[in-house]
Amino acid sequence: MKSLKGMHVLMGVTGGIAAYKSAELCRLLKKSGATVQIVMSEAACQFITPLTLEALSGRPVAVQMFGRTQGALEHIDMPTEADLMLIAPATADYLARCATGRASDLISSVTLAFAGPVIAAPAMNTNMYTNPATRRNLETLRHYHGWHFVEPTSGELACGTVGQGRMASPQDIMAEVLAFTHRDLAQKKIVITAGPTVEDIDPVRYISNRSSGKTGYALAKRAQLRGADVVLISGPVSLAPPSNCQIIHVRSALEMEAAVLAHCDDADAVVMCAAVADYRPASKADEKIKKPQLNQIQLVPNPDILAGLGEKYRNASTPKLIGFALETENLKQNATAKLQQKGADVIVSNLAADALEGDMTKVTIFESNGDFQETGIITKAELADLILNLI
Ligand SMILES: Cc1cc2nc3c(=O)[nH]c(=O)nc-3n(C[C@H](O)[C@H](O)[C@H](O)COP(=O)(O)O)c2cc1C
């Protein structure tokens, strides 16, 4: 069981409705062994009292720049002592202050003076969240300051509108903090493919499949949180790319193969999660094909990218090759055969009958040494961690 034992977390609370959830988050941080110093914006005190957070953290809560809770230089001392800053909730205004380097109140001064990792959980009305100014501030913080965000979820917000902006649950924020602080994949480069490929027939038609890309994106997110250097090669999907990954958008199997080959030589692992189309039209017509000619399309097989890598790295110890297989029968027999045929180290296999829509999945993970584990029904994020544990 992961814990935060020995860690000192500087937890910031800013002025949004979700501030009430910070009490539970503080409790979870303490329970996992961290010491917690809370700093609140003045606006946050309108939503939850410092007394509540003081009782839960066991330390005086700092609010005012000139309030001297712990000494004259607390805006410098508090960040120096901390291993991690966690801001939950993070308001639009606080993010704007940080993106522009302001130090106009205690919480923004402390953030500016903090040199370690910052994890923030934004929470706000959907229009505020999607406003270009907020998007720009988030991008600035992500790219120039290396912040990590626990993305807000979608649902009904306190203001009555429905959309993205609701702060992630304290449990989900805690899971991200735990993953972030256990950077067991630091120094590892992991190439992950995700989503379907799209094989164009003519300017308006194509062959593809219904892969959502969710498992590959969950893998990229967890790998990045665990410290890996992630290259995510994605077919067309409607998912937001995880932060701090190198993302390469491709369309066809041939494009995906080229991108994989360009990035795998120095990789520690390649996880082939994408649902690559088996066939593509021999050529793409420049003009829309007339209906009577449609049944004459010539199909040619796409490359088996995983098998190609298996061949290329036959005698090498890296990259570790991990493939996925969907079967309708004989799971073990087929997966064992695929491990050999494709030269893979791991095959993650599931039965079509168990293929679950949405965020859940149920698979069996087969390794080339004969080991295997059946997962039962788990989230795709949990599956991602099981796979990454093998790297
Ligand atoms: C009832 C109420 C709820 C609010 N909820 C949010 C919110 O969820 N997210 C947000 O960014 N701002 C919210 N605001 C606006 C912030 O409180 C305001 O921008 C404030 O200046 C933020 O200060 P801070 O960033 O120092 O905490 C809310 C305001 C009110 C009155």
| pLDDT value, residue 129 | 96
Nearest to 8, CA basis, from 34, 39, 40, 38: 34
In degrees, rounded to 5, the angle at the alpha carbon of residue 79 between the alpha carbons of residues 4 and 183 is: 35
pTM higher than 0.85: no
3-state SS, residue 359: coil
* pLDDT at residue 243 is higher than 90: no
Tell me if 216 sits within 8 A of 199, measured CB to CB.
Answer: no
Atom of ligand 1 nearest to the CA of 95: 25
- Please give the C-alpha separations between residue 265 and each of 262, 318, 376, 385, in angstroms, as whole numbers: 7, 9, 34, 24
For residue 123 and ligand 1, the question of a CB distance below 6 A is answered with yes
* pLDDT at residue 298 is higher than 90: yes
For residue 351 and ligand 1, the question of a CB distance below 6 A is answered with no
For residue 299 and ligand 1, the question of a CB distance below 6 A is answered with no
For residue 15 and ligand 1, the question of a CB distance below 6 A is answered with yes
List beta partners, residue 325. Answer: 349
Specify burial of residue 299 (Cβ count, 10 A radius: 0-12, 13-18, 19+). middle
Residue-wise pLDDT for 304-329, tens only, equals: 999 999 999 998 999 999 999 988 88
Is 98 a catalytic site residue?
no
List beta partners, residue 69. Answer: none
For residue 122 and ligand 1, the question of a CB distance below 6 A is answered with no
For residue 199 and ligand 1, the question of a CB distance below 6 A is answered with no
Residue-wise pLDDT for 348-372, tens only, equals: 998 877 765 677 889 999 999 999 9
In degrees, rounded to 5, the angle at the alpha carbon of residue 27 between the alpha carbons of residues 22 and 33 is: 130
What spacing in Å lies between the alpha carbon of 43 and ligand 1's midpoint? Answer: 7
pLDDT band at 19 (very low <50, low <70, confident <90, very high): very high
2-6, 137-141, 368-372, 383-387: range with lowest mean pLDDT: 2-6
**pLDDT mean over 74-101:** 93
Q: Which two tokens stand for residue 50?
A: 């410092």
| pLDDT value, residue 69 | 64
What spacing in Å lies between the alpha carbon of 180 and ligand 1's midpoint? Answer: 27
What's the CATH superfamily of 189-388?
CoaB-like (3.40.50.10300)
Residue 30, C-beta contacts closer than 8 angstroms, at least 6 positions apart: 36, 56, 57, 58
What residue segments make up the domains of the chain, in order of their start? Answer: 8-181, 189-388
Fold annotation for 8-181? Rossmann fold (3.40.50)
| Residue corresponding to tokens 């910031």 | 12
Domains 8-181 and 189-388 share a fold: yes
What spacing in Å lies between the alpha carbon of 41 and ligand 1's midpoint? Answer: 10
| pLDDT value, residue 70 | 65
What spacing in Å lies between the alpha carbon of 78 and ligand 1's midpoint? Answer: 24
Q: What is the DSSP annotation of 196-242?
A: B--EESSSS-EE------HHHHHHHHHHHHTT-EEEEEE-S-SSPPP
Catalytic residue among 159, 245, 264, 273: 159
Question: Whose Cα sits closest to atom 29 in ligand 1?
Answer: 16
Tell me if 151 sits within 8 A of 168, measured CB to CB.
Answer: yes
Residue-wise pLDDT for 126-139, tens only, equals: 999 999 999 999 99
**pLDDT mean over 206-213:** 94
Separation of alpha carbons 211 and 98, rounded Å: 38
Residue-wise pLDDT for 141-175, tens only, equals: 988 787 999 999 988 888 787 888 999 999 999 99
| pLDDT value, residue 97 | 98
* pLDDT at residue 73 is higher than 90: no
| pLDDT value, residue 17 | 95
Q: Which two tokens stand for residue 86?
A: 């966690």
| Residue corresponding to tokens 């030269």 | 343
pLDDT band at 72 (very low <50, low <70, confident <90, very high): low
Separation of alpha carbons 188 and 320, rounded Å: 11
| pLDDT value, residue 162 | 83
Q: Mean pLDDT, the chain, as a whole number?
A: 93
Separation of alpha carbons 262 and 144, rounded Å: 26
Residue 190, C-beta contacts closer than 8 angstroms, at least 6 positions apart: 223, 228, 229, 230, 231, 267, 268, 269, 270, 271, 388, 391
Nearest to 345, CA basis, from 372, 373, 366: 366
* pLDDT at residue 81 is higher than 70: yes
